[in-house]
Amino acid sequence: MEDEKKQRGKGHRLLLMPSPLQGHITPLLHLAHILFSRGFSITIVHTLFNAPDPTSYPHFSFHTIPDGLSQTEASTLDAVHLTDLINIRCAHPLKEWLASQLLNSPEPVPCFISDAALHFTQLVCDELKLPRLVLRTGGASSFLVFASFPLLREKGYLPLQESRLEEPVVDLPPLKVKDLPTFRSQDPESFYKLVCRMVQECKGSSGVIWNTFEELESSALRKLRQDFSIPIYPIGPFHKHLLTGAASSASLLTPDKSCMSWLDKQECKSVVYVSFGSIAAISEAEVLEIAWGLANSKQPFLWVIRPGLIRGSEWLEPLPNGFLENLGGRGYIVKWSPQEQVLRHPAVGAFWTHNGWNSTLESICEGVPMICMPCFADQKVNAKYASSLWKVGVQLQNKLERGDVEKAIKKLMVGDEANQIRENALNLKEKAIACLKEDGSSYCFLDSLVSDILSVESSASRAR
Ligand code: UDP
């Protein structure tokens, strides 16, 4: 019975398209893996920019869409502008390729699955009468905020005004105005427009798949089910469906695994792991506050400084001379880490994160308490939920200062409040594991996703 279930997708090919950003590519490849494990054949269609490495996935087919990006355009410095360009330039080549797939694929193609940010794919699929499923790589709670953007603008919460930052957003507790998503793009309106288009085209799709789980975001999921008349599939945490190790192969950068042997030498739950994801950038002044805050906390730390993290610097130049050497081995810096492995390591006691959704979920899955320092977009909502609702972290407030950093680390590592936060984190971790077990919520939603894909197939091919 179980084996039969695992092979239900056999004889069908799924076509999936990621948005070319690390935080989007990883969950899409994980989803592809999950569906592959249910018997589906998989083709990943992707832009030339930030193409995934096909050698890591010998069991998938890959197809490159010419994205028409110039050398300067092919950059994640302004991710909103990049996404806008892809939404315009990939429409024609994707339509041509999809049409040929529908004609020539030896296996039936029941639907197309694309990242929510690639909203252009809805029109392409409509024209070809191909059902489109959406993968939303962020959380459901932040999506609910995105879906409320027109209302938030109508009520004057958006664009943000300095004088209202501390006001509660009455329609979206526990958020305050300062927690609402923003993004500094070259065109100040482009983030708002992209979000509204993304939401609108999700509503027009055949269903939205979420890398979250019911027990974590039940209230947002309930509201989305009320407001959207399409199926909602919370089947996460994706990476926990998979065997250990499958995740790291989705990495665009090579992880420096030397940090694992450094972690082996540290005491249990003593290390602060610091990483701000693949896109966020910080100023030289902020780097110094982080560096001195970490040094003064007296805790060991593992810090990911990717080239490009510090605005205007190649890599570590802004750090004081001899900074690491003077700490006598208490600090370790890498350009990119095997993050999931790091968070699983028993020496890690806290994660200082920008609260990208993947990082937030990875931390929850390992029961690691967070120091939340959101930078932009949905990160601010995730940080608020982690600190105020799930109570698995503390949020750094206002301007980044070394004294506050030191206090936040202490609050998370020692004392009664630290013990309470750790207990909350372990409770949430248990829920993240339980939802994937047979009859758990994500397990059941995955079953209905597979059934719906197979039933949509028969009606779609009739329509074509
Ligand atoms: N990541 C990693 N090594 C690092 C830093 C990040 O493997 O040194 C991975 C992390 O595990 C996560 C992804 O990169 O899966 C970052 O996604 P997230 O949504 O957290 O943030 P984004 O990069 O999109 O801002």
The closest residue, in CA terms, to atom 6 on ligand 1 is 277
For residue 126, give both structure tokens.
Answer: 């409509």
Q: What does the H/E/C string look like for 8-25? A: CCCCCEEEEECCCCHHHH
Residue 139 Cβ inside 6 Å of ligand 1? The answer reads: no
As a whole number, the mean pLDDT across the chain is: 94
Residue 336 Cβ inside 6 Å of ligand 1? The answer reads: yes
pLDDT digits (tens, 9 = 90+) for 254-311: 999 999 999 999 999 999 999 999 999 999 999 999 999 999 999 999 999 999 999 9
- Ordered strands of the 301-304 beta sheet: 331-334, 301-304, 271-275, 348-353, 370-372, 393-395
Distance 272 CA to ligand 1 centre (A): 16
pLDDT digits (tens, 9 = 90+) for 25-67: 999 999 999 999 999 999 999 999 999 999 989 999 999 999 9
Domain 2-241+437-463 belongs to what topology? Rossmann fold (3.40.50)
Find the length of the chain: 464
Residue 9 Cβ inside 6 Å of ligand 1? The answer reads: no
pLDDT for 459 beyond 70: no
Beta bridge partners of residue 271, listed in sequence order: 348
- Taking a C-beta distance cutoff of 8 angstroms, is the pair 358, 322 a contact? no
Query: In which residue are the tokens 């239900």 written?
Result: 8
Question: What pLDDT is recorded for position 130?
Answer: 97
Q: Where are the domains of the chain?
A: 2-241+437-463, 249-432
Mean pLDDT of the 84-105 span = 96
- Taking a C-beta distance cutoff of 8 angstroms, is the pair 411, 418 a contact? yes
Residue 142 Cβ inside 6 Å of ligand 1? The answer reads: no
The closest residue, in CA terms, to atom 2 on ligand 1 is 339
Residue 277 Cβ inside 6 Å of ligand 1? The answer reads: yes
Question: What pLDDT is recorded for position 4?
Answer: 67
Distance 77 CA to ligand 1 centre (A): 16
Distance 456 CA to ligand 1 centre (A): 33
Residue 22 Cβ inside 6 Å of ligand 1? The answer reads: yes
Distance 353 CA to ligand 1 centre (A): 10
Question: What pLDDT is recorded for position 188?
Answer: 84
Atom of ligand 1 nearest to the CA of 359: 20
Question: What pLDDT is recorded for position 458?
Answer: 55
Question: What pLDDT is recorded for position 6?
Answer: 74
Residue 76 Cβ inside 6 Å of ligand 1? The answer reads: no
For residue 207, give both structure tokens.
Answer: 């269903």
Least confident stretch, 87-91, 331-335, 411-415:
411-415
Distance 251 CA to ligand 1 centre (A): 9
Q: 3-state DSSP call for residue 282?
A: strand
Residue 362 Cβ inside 6 Å of ligand 1? The answer reads: yes
| 2-241+437-463 and 249-432, same CATH topology | yes
SS percent in the chain: helix, strand, coil, step 5: 45, 15, 40
Q: 3-state DSSP call for residue 3?
A: helix
For residue 7, give both structure tokens.
Answer: 């092979």
pTM score = 0.96
Residue 405 Cβ inside 6 Å of ligand 1? The answer reads: no
Residue 26 Cβ inside 6 Å of ligand 1? The answer reads: yes
The closest residue, in CA terms, to atom 11 on ligand 1 is 339
Tell me the CATH number for domain 249-432: 3.40.50.2000
pLDDT above 70 covers what percent of the chain?
95
Question: What pLDDT is recorded for position 250?
Answer: 82
Task: Look at residues 379, 363, 212 and name the one whose alpha carbon lies nearest to residue 274.
Answer: 363
Distance 95 CA to ligand 1 centre (A): 31
- Taking a C-beta distance cutoff of 8 angstroms, is the pair 254, 336 a contact? yes
Backbone angles phi, psi at 254, to 5 degrees: -85, 120
Most confident range (mean pLDDT) of 51-60, 397-406, 421-430 is 421-430
Question: What pLDDT is recorded for position 397?
Answer: 81
pLDDT for 352 beyond 70: yes
Q: 3-state DSSP call for residue 398?
A: coil
From 19, 21, 22, 309, give the residue whose CB has the most ligand 1 atoms within 8 Å, as the site to mutate. 22
Q: How far apart are CA 29 and CA 167, in angstroms?
A: 39
Q: How far apart are CA 136 and CA 150, in angstroms?
A: 20
From 306, 359, 372, give the residue whose CB has the most ligand 1 atoms within 8 Å, as the site to mutate. 359
pLDDT digits (tens, 9 = 90+) for 311-346: 999 999 999 999 999 999 999 999 999 999 999 999
From 343, 358, 378, give the residue whose CB has the most ligand 1 atoms within 8 Å, as the site to mutate. 358
Residue 340 Cβ inside 6 Å of ligand 1? The answer reads: yes
Residues with Cβ within 8 Å of residue 168, at least 6 apart in sequence: 174, 175, 176, 177
Distance 436 CA to ligand 1 centre (A): 22
